[in-house]
Amino acid sequence: MQIKKFTAKTMAEAMTKVKQELGDEAVILNSRQVKTGWFGLFASKQVEVIAALEKEKAVTKPRRPDSVRPEPTSAPASAPTPSPQVPSTPRMVGGTAPRLHSSLQHIDALLSTESFAEESWEETLNELYYTTKSVEVAERFVYEQVKSSFIDPPEAKRYVMLVGPTGVGKTTTLAKLAAHFKLTEGKTVGLITTDTYRIAAIEQLKTYAEIMSIPVEVAYDFHDFKRAKQLFARKDIVLIDTAGRNFRDPAYVEQFHEHHDFTETSLSLVLSLTSKMKDMDMIYSQFESLPLSSLIFTKADETSDIHAMYRMVKKSDLPVAWMTDGQEVPDDLIRGDAEALTKRLFEKEGWARWTKQGV
Ligand SMILES: Nc1nc2c(ncn2[C@@H]2O[C@H](COP(=O)(O)OP(=O)(O)OP(=O)(O)O)[C@@H](O)[C@H]2O)c(=O)[nH]1
Ligand SMILES: [Mg+2]
């Protein structure tokens, strides 16, 4: 990635410069107002823009002499001194030590986690840091990268069906959704459960439904399922609870396809953030052949490490419809828009946690 700093009198002028030098594909990483002049004399406001371009797309190969180049071997004099409390968890690449400038150790620590193993942002981050001398700009870059991987979830379709392994929180989340659609969105809601393995599972859903005065139908077979759908023909939204084990059986899934049109269904895979990464991968592979439209992450409150969510989103290319962070129905439910999820990820992991502890 090629990164350059542009200064101009106005934003429009700066953008023209960016366009001329880097072309239409350039991405603006940061912009701010700066003052020039000495001690207020002849001071004028200028706009400073940091723009970047993927290397292979660069339109002007030889850099102008005034462009800022990284000095890989020596740190700039104005670079902030690293905190002594910075945890030393440098990622080892082929046995070598940290790849990021010492002021960016907290970012290095985050990137060292399994969820970010696929990313190779080091060169860009170092270049960005040498260009701007700003830790904040580097942090912003990571924030924006994460945010851009979250797609805002589409509107729920008429049928919302939750699938996923046992105990991840499907029924609890469905009850939260029922409350959300009824109370917040003012929709009419019906509930169908196809999880008939345990009496307790049916009772659990019925209890929630009763509290919220929402009708619930139990479907023991596809005939019941069809009947339940007919009963709810006038409802705005129909929420369907399932048993994880059914959806691992290809014959059952095939039968389900025969009896239900998935094009009018928001089918969400529910994953618990408390699961190990390997298990999450395995669960995903068991469900990925279904026409999934989104992911739902539960139990964000039970772990300090929610960035597994980032990796699963990258892996699946699916939006996150919802995230849940507690057992309270209907409160502990967060809509999965990109800004909310990214904020949450960084609040929780927080740069504070990764490094600036005690600074
Ligand atoms: N801490 C926490 N617990 C949750 C959350 N969501 C669900 N739970 C709890 O997880 C447990 C299992 O939830 P269920 O909703 O029964 O899970 P399920 O996927 O329907 O389980 P099965 O029907 O057995 O497959 C319950 O004790 C819930 O209260 C959450 O966001 N945070
Ligand atoms: Mg359940």
Instruction: Give the CATH number, domain containing residue 173.
Output: 3.40.50.300
Number of domains in the chain: 2
What separation in Å is there between the alpha carbon of 167 and the centre of ligand 2? 7
Q: Which ligand does the CA of 330 lie closest to?
A: 1
Q: Is 244 in the pocket of ligand 1 (CB under 6 A)?
A: yes
- Residue 150 has, within 13 A of its CA and on its CB side, a CA count of 27
Q: Atom 10 (ligand 1): residue with closest C-alpha?
A: 169
Q: Is residue 226 part of a domain?
A: yes
What pLDDT is recorded for position 96?
A: 47
What separation in Å is there between the alpha carbon of 240 and the centre of ligand 2? 11
What separation in Å is there between the alpha carbon of 336 and the centre of ligand 1? 19
DSSP class of residue 59? S
CA distance 308 to 165: 17
Q: Give the domain-ending residue among 44, 69, 94.
A: 69
What pLDDT is recorded for position 354?
A: 56
What pLDDT is recorded for position 280?
A: 93
Mean pLDDT (10-residue bins), the chain, 359 residues:
83 85 80 68 76 62 38 38 37 56 88 88 91 90 92 94 94 95 95 85 88 93 94 97 83 86 94 93 91 96 86 95 93 93 78 50
- Are both 195 and 312 inside the same structural domain? yes
Query: What is the Cα Rg of the chain in Å?
Result: 25
What separation in Å is there between the alpha carbon of 276 and the centre of ligand 2? 21
Residue listed under structure tokens 């597994």: 308
Angle 146-286-272 (CA atoms, 0-180°, nearest 5)?
50
Q: Which ligand does the CA of 164 lie closest to?
A: 1
- Are both 202 and 325 inside the same structural domain? yes
Residues of the domain holding 318: 159-336
Phi-psi region of 45 (alpha: psi -120 to 50; beta: other; left: phi over 0): beta
- For residue 325, the ligand 1 atom closest to its alpha carbon is 31
Q: Is residue 281 part of a domain?
A: yes
Q: Is 171 in the pocket of ligand 1 (CB under 6 A)?
A: yes
What separation in Å is there between the alpha carbon of 299 and the centre of ligand 1? 8
- Are both 172 and 308 inside the same structural domain? yes
Q: Give the domain-ending residue among 33, 49, 69.
A: 69
What pLDDT is recorded for position 169?
A: 95
- Are both 61 and 178 inside the same structural domain? no
Q: Is 332 in the pocket of ligand 1 (CB under 6 A)?
A: yes
- Are both 56 and 177 inside the same structural domain? no
What separation in Å is there between the alpha carbon of 299 and the centre of ligand 2? 15
Q: Is residue 131 part of a domain?
A: no
Q: Is 196 in the pocket of ligand 1 (CB under 6 A)?
A: no
Distances (CA, A) of 184 to 189, 194, 215, 324: 12, 26, 18, 16
Q: Is residue 122 part of a domain?
A: no
Q: Is residue 255 part of a domain?
A: yes
Q: Is residue 146 part of a domain?
A: no
- Are both 183 and 60 inside the same structural domain? no
What pLDDT is recorded for position 81?
A: 37
Q: Is residue 342 part of a domain?
A: no
Q: Is 182 in the pocket of ligand 1 (CB under 6 A)?
A: no
What pLDDT is recorded for position 213?
A: 94
Q: Is 326 in the pocket of ligand 1 (CB under 6 A)?
A: yes
Q: What's the whole-model pTM score?
A: 0.77
Q: Is 349 in the pocket of ligand 1 (CB under 6 A)?
A: no
Q: Is residue 332 part of a domain?
A: yes
- For residue 195, the ligand 1 atom closest to its alpha carbon is 23
What pLDDT is recorded for position 33?
A: 76
Residues 6+ apart with CB under 8 A from 123: 1
Q: Atom 29 (ligand 1): residue with closest C-alpha?
A: 327
CA distance 43 to 187: 58
What separation in Å is there between the alpha carbon of 276 and the centre of ligand 1? 17
Mutate to test the pocket of ligand 1, among 168, 170, 172, 196 (most ligand atoms within 8 A of CB): 172
What pLDDT is recorded for position 314?
A: 93
What pLDDT is recorded for position 56?
A: 56
What pLDDT is recorded for position 353?
A: 56
Q: Atom 14 (ligand 1): residue with closest C-alpha?
A: 169
